[in-house]
Amino acid sequence: MIIVNEKEHVFHLRNERISYLLYIMESGQPGHLYFGKALQPGGSYLHMVEKAHRPMSTYIKEGDLYTSYEHLRQEYPCYGTSDYRYPAMEILGRDGSRICKPQYQGYAVIHGKKPLPGLPATYTEEEGEADTLEIYMNDPLRDLEFILSYTIFRDVDALARSVSFINRGNEVLFLNRAMSLSLDMPDMDYQTVQLSGSWARERAVRIRDLEPGITAICSMRGNSSHQHNPFLALKRKNTNEQSGDVFGFSLLYSGNFLAQAEADNYQVLRIMLGINPFGFQWKLEPGETFVTPEAVMVYSAEGLNGMSRQFHRLFRNRLVRGYWRDRERPVLINNWEATQFDYTQQDLLQFAEKAKECGIELFVLDDGWFGARNDDRRGLGDWRANREKLPEGIEGLAQKIEALGMKFGLWFEPEMVNKDSDLFRAHPDYIIRTPGRTASHGRNQFVLDFSRKEVVDAIYRQLYELLSNASISYIKWDMNRSISECYSAAYPADRQGEIFHRYILGVYDLHERLIRDFPQLLIESCASGGGRFDAGMLYYAPQGWVSDDTDAIERTKIQYGTSFVYPLSSMGAHVSACPNEQIGRTTSIATRGNAALTGAFGYELDLNKLSEEEIRTVKKQVAFYKENRSLLAQGDFYRLLSPFEGNFAAWEICQPDGSRALVTVTRILSEVNGPYRRLPLRGLLPDQSYHIQSPHLSYDAYGDELMQFGLMLEDRSAGQVTDGGDTCHDFCSLLYEITAIQTV
């Protein structure tokens, strides 16, 4: 999949659907030629290089009025050597200079893909499924080696990129900027697509036209954040969900990030993705190596849905790993919204008994089980059972839950501490804080300094003891505040720019240790809901809590946006109580169930407070999910109607072979005498006959009809309701089953 033209120094990374072309310029630096739909493998592509004499430009060589880095498309640019755009790297030397001129030294083609030490990364398992190109460069003045790494996958239209910096010299260097990916596009005729919001309204889809200048999203909070997701897409203005060119970029990282699009005055577009340079500086001692987080880039000619399916396939099969990657996830119930801090062991057992009756497989005990934890002002850091609430400890409760025929799970927030805790009283220096400054709190808690190994070790010992002594099948790993006053007492002044990154490396290290020691443990990541829902966390936790907002209508929007990058199997989605805790809205349990089915399914309510009819519905929902969870987790996902654009939302999950599909249609507000509606489907077999079934609709149709004419929607607001109107109300959701009819 990697073709090298030795004579022209052109590298062509190619599978059957996409091509990526780069070359080595006469100056010795790598230049970019092309990324997009697959090109012929034997072509000569140097004619793609565009350069001209431009007034007010700076040129590389005396007498040459054509070659300027400002106007050449590059692979990994640096600032100040005739290029005045934002660079991919900035290296500070002892002499105070930030200028760098890496020169090409050679290359290697590697079958497969190397892991990134201490960092999440995509991987390979089978021979021939990916090839990696490494470009070696060196700045001779500093003796700094650069390795640009590009992996192309055989079965997914994606490339993975990262960069290594190796100090081969004798002087200390400082990395002030080290992006994971830089891509110079030949024009700026695109719209950007980003996923932005805030707590309880994460990952809303935002689309805007590019103009000359900078378009950027970022986090400076120490976590990837509720506000912006480490993802950016470029789409042509006529591209929609189903057709048109789109490029997607995702950073496999959980800390401060920057995703930036810079359009210059000649309409060349530079995309960058990586660790946010603000507040970042890495001291690179002689002999040391720094590796950037991995960035994944996807191309699709099949619109935004096509881009998403590529991300889903790659992340689901070659980023998520371990015991739970290919296994069906258990239906769980979490006690938080039912009890919060106020419960006894007997309350929990009654809660679990009703859940078992409904077919639920996993009981999760949330906050309040440890230390002196009766509110959010105390107890964090003391990971031992509160014996007043749980007289038999976690071990005894877990045994009783398993005796009911269920698995047991537990909530942790291992990165945080309350001042009212034994851990803080013993080690007040363990928190992140700047000397002489007030330490800000969030939710009455402080951030443990995970840049320090001894702090990670202290938490690891507590968790290891608990997980070793009790039968715990699942943990919900929460993180309820961002980092402020970032400073570590363990590092000197010239290393304080490393703390944000070292913190995330510590988080990854603790995950890695727990996965090593307890390989069958299912970890769900959480950060006040979606504050750290990123591709980096998927490497350690195969599913994440999408948002603290469990309202079905808001979740329709949040999960719709999340699906742009992340597979359904990664989205924790639960049916909660009504009126909803976050916004006070009341929706039917059927609508809540339909919203939660398109995710890792569960409940967050007290089943003992439901009516008999609602309990029957819960039992049906659980049974339906169990019957279809393989399809829901592994199927191809299609967004059909956007809740950000109208009164309806719709999506489809289809078996890759087209044999079965599930379609969810949600009407947000009811209508009076509305129109008839039809919904064109995707992914079906044109000549296959299907049976369509919904609560009040049943008919047969061929796949071509369902994809061209469309699925006829049952909507009882289309006309006068004369039969009681059980589906004519606000916040109505219907689920359609599309099943291939077997022919004799």
Q: Which positions are catalytic? A: 478, 548
Please give the Cα distance from 637 to 656 (Å, whole number). Answer: 10
Q: Provide the strand spans (E) within 319-472.
A: 332-334, 362-365, 407-412, 416-417, 446-447
Please provide residue 369's backbone torsions phi and psi, each rounded to the nearest 5 degrees. Answer: -90, -5
3-state secondary structure (DSSP) of residue 573? strand
Contact present, 232 and 296 (Cβ < 8 Å): no
Which residue is associated with the tokens 């849905």?
Answer: 305
Please give the Cα distance from 303 to 664 (Å, whole number). Answer: 21
Pairing of the two strands 269-275 and 103-111:
unpaired
User: Which strand (E) or helix (H) includes residue 150?
Assistant: strand 144-153
Pairing of the two strands 543-545 and 571-576:
parallel
Please give the Cα distance from 307 to 301 (Å, whole number). Answer: 8
Task: Report the helix count and the strand count for the chain, using DSSP H and E.
Answer: 12, 38
Distances (CA, A) of 150 to 62, 68, 109, 327, 669: 34, 25, 10, 30, 48
Other beta carbons less than 10 A from residue 741's beta carbon:
11
Please give the Cα distance from 264 to 270 (Å, whole number). Answer: 8
| Residue 426 buriedness (CB in 10 A; 0-12 / 13-18 / 19+) | exposed
Other beta carbons less than 10 A from residue 490's beta carbon:
15
Letter for the amino acid at 454? Answer: E
Please give the Cα distance from 516 to 220 (Å, whole number). Answer: 31
Which residue is associated with the tokens 């003992």?
Answer: 608
Letter for the amino acid at 264? Answer: D
